[in-house]
Structure 1
């Protein structure tokens, strides 16, 4: 059996794993909808997305394309720091995240602008919940992940700092750059709220979506996994 065939059977060699892959894709798509809702709420996006949104406003480029460029650059940076090959398998979630974000924001939502304060915060809350659900679900699946979390793990190992300290410093730097590029429509009170609460919300949904991970541990899946042992 060829290596490519082994990889296929390892990841998609059963109905359970196809279901797992579908839930993985759903997680990415629903998290993109959550980010699109944060953008149109105009009360602030998560620090990690503020730079791309700021650049989008400055240069009139769709934010999804900028996220794709930024994530691909981060894949190369991660590889350089680790001294390993770039994880090009991460291109799947990267491209899907950028494309679906553009679809939600510019086609479905038509880049809507909300001016009523209570509606802004209502949309913001829904967006945060969708992001938490989507990210928590897609992280449960054994498929490639978007490289931001991998980058912070590398920095944590290289600097010997706690994960919390690394994340806070990283997000503070991104929020500052996002504010410089895009102003208060990009970084606002919503940015502070996501910095504090998005992580716990992701953790909550990560815990209750454990069934996604367990799909790959069925008896039929275990038989197919044995070809890689």
Structure 2
């Protein structure tokens, strides 16, 4: 065989990739709207949106451009421009979900906020794991996770936490929504992603084409 994916395999890969992005952006929107503090990366996007301008999704794409260059330098490879397409789709998804969900969460009802944030964290981990398993074109920040995974030889829990801490400092500079939710994301985000990576490896193994 020449290694090319069969039509059905291509469809399966794209379906998994698209489903993962939909789940991921749904979770991101929930954590933003919960207003309890977002992940450091999303806090940076929100801070830039509120204090500089443009939408959260637009900043997703712009920051992605910088990360693509960073990833290329670290991996000593050509810039992965396909990742920019993924970031563009993700940016659109975030803006779409924020628009659709902004009236569903009561800003002054703590239980509503807490439930939205908890669901958001779980779905972010699930969505990220699903679309990474598709191995189509990772969002640049997730590609950075994989690049550091190879360079440092650490597991995904530690590499993800390191990245979170770096973006936390950047988010503070732009007065992003840092709060209790941010602390939970830094402490538990890597754990949740590691869990879902394990689950999706088993659940999607038969659906996705073998490398």
With normalisation by structure 2, the TM-score equals 0.85
Higher helix share: 1
Q: Which has the larger radius of gyration?
A: 1
Structure-to-structure mapping, 1:1-229, within 5 angstroms: 10-11=4-5, 13-105=6-98, 107-110=99-102, 114-155=107-148, 160=152, 162=154, 167-183=160-176, 186-210=177-201, 211-217=203-209
Structure 2: distance between partners of 1:76 and 1:131: 24
Q: Is the 8 A contact 1:136 1:205 kept in 2?
A: yes
| Cα distance in 2 for residues equivalent to 1:200 and 1:161 | 17
Deviation at 1:49, TM superposition (A): 1.8
Deviations 1:65-94 (A, max 9, x none): 001110121112222344321111212321
8 Å CA contact 2:161–2:190 kept in 1: the answer is no
Measure, in 1, the Cα distance between the counterparts of 2:194 and 2:74.
28
Number of residues of Structure 1 aligned to a counterpart in Structure 2: 207
Pair 76,208 (structure 1): closer, same or farther in 2 beyond 3 Å = same
- 1:77–1:64 Cα change, 3 Å: same
Change beyond 3 A, Cα 1:197–1:55? same
Is the alpha carbon distance of 1:55 and 1:98 closer, same or farther for their aligned partners in structure 2, counting shifts above 3 Å? same
Question: What stretches of structure 1 of length at least 5 have no aligned partner?
Answer: 1-5
C-alpha distance in structure 2 between counterparts of 1:155 and 1:132, whole Å: 18
CA RMSD of aligned residues (A): 2.5
TM-score, scaled to structure 1: 0.79
Distance 1:204 1:118 in 2: 26
Q: Deviations over 1:84-137 (max 9, x none)?
A: 2111121232111111111111x2124766121111111101111111111111
Question: For the Cα contact (< 8 Å) 1:45–1:190, is it kept in 2?
Answer: yes
- 1:31: how far off? 0.5
The superposition leaves residues 25-81 of structure 1 with CA deviations (integer Å, 9 ceiling, x where unpaired) of 111111001000000101111112221111111123200000111012111222234
